[in-house]
């Protein structure tokens, strides 16, 4: 009722296209997403959601290893997220964004509070529930993370791959390895070339003792990125409990990744 949005149809369409590009998780798509968001802002400088898309484009530099200064990229993303909230406090997506940025800074209470605010503002939003599920997973609240992520999947008619990535990771953390492989396979079916989906599926197979299937998924990870490094990939995972991260690291190494 109170959301501001934009009256500029072209800006709205550019923002949708930016979101779609971000979901591709690739270098070229990232920079297309940034340009689209910047174009939307040029058309409507008060369009809060466009600032969210622009913020995500800076955060994506970190997991895609496109920045020499991850701290600077995250700081820029937070700056843009705060701008979005200043423009529209009712925008749940902006609070989800800030919640995720806080988790990267290991500020767990602030992160959960922001993401809970997003769900409160947009109770029917799949992505608000998804982000709350993500920060709960990193904060060590795995059962709650599973519940929130499953709710996100229920709310989203065609859920993206990363919803199942988080579900697989949460199931791994609770020892539900068979459920983790099911979620991981759904992620891979949606996006076969997702390194994240393949890596979590490899970990799930490894933890469930299915060594041959884990090895096959590890080969897929290397097909997507021949320079994949377990340490480099997992160092960006802001787990509150170190044993949660070690679980994934050990599983990936047992699958044959280095």
pLDDT at residue number 62: 85
124 backbone dihedrals φ, ψ, rounded to 5° = -105, 10
pLDDT at residue number 2: 54
**251 occurs within a structural domain:** yes
**167 occurs within a structural domain:** yes
**246 occurs within a structural domain:** yes
Distances (CA, A) of 149 to 58, 66, 96, 219: 24, 28, 14, 28
Number of structural domains found in the chain: 1
**128 occurs within a structural domain:** no
pLDDT at residue number 238: 94
**181 occurs within a structural domain:** yes
**211 occurs within a structural domain:** yes
**218 occurs within a structural domain:** yes
**222 occurs within a structural domain:** yes
| Cβ atoms of 135 and 99 closer than 8 Å | yes
Q: Which residue segment(s) compose the domain that 207 sits in?
A: 160-258
- Domain at 202, CATH number: 1.25.40.10
pLDDT at residue number 197: 95
Q: pTM for this one? A: 0.90
pLDDT at residue number 65: 80
Average pLDDT for runs of 10 along the chain of length 258: 81 95 84 97 97 94 85 94 94 94 94 98 96 97 98 95 96 98 97 93 98 98 94 92 97 98
């Amino acid at each position: 009722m109170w959301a501001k949005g934009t009256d500029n149809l072209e800006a709205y369409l550019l923002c949708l296209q930016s979101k779609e590009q971000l979901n591709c998780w690739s270098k070229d798509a990232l920079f297309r997403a940034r340009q689209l968001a910047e174009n939307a802002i040029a058309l409507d400088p008060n369009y809060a959601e466009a600032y969210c898309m622009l913020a995500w484009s800076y955060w994506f530099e970190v997991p895609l290893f496109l920045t020499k200064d991850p701290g600077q990229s995250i700081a820029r993303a937070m700056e843009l997220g705060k701008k979005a909230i200043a423009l529209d406090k009712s925008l749940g997506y902006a609070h989800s964004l800030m919640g995720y940025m806080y988790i990267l800074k290991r500020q767990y209470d602030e992160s959960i509070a922001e993401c809970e605010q997003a769900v409160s503002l947009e109770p029917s939003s799949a992505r608000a529930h998804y982000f709350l599920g993500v920060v709960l997973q990193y904060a060590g609240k795995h059962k709650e993370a599973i519940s929130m992520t499953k709710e996100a999947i229920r709310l989203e008619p065609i859920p993206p791959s990363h919803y199942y990535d988080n579900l697989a990771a949460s199931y791994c953390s609770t020892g539900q390895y068979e459920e983790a492989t099911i979620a991981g396979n759904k992620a891979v079916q949606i996006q076969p070339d997702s390194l994240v989906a393949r890596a979590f599926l490899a970990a799930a197979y490894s933890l469930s003792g299915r060594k041959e299937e884990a090895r096959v998924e590890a080969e897929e990870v290397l097909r997507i990125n021949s320079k994949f490094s377990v340490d480099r990939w997992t160092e960006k995972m802001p787990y509150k409990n170190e044993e949660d991260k070690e679980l994934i690291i050990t599983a990936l190494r047992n699958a044959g990744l280095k």
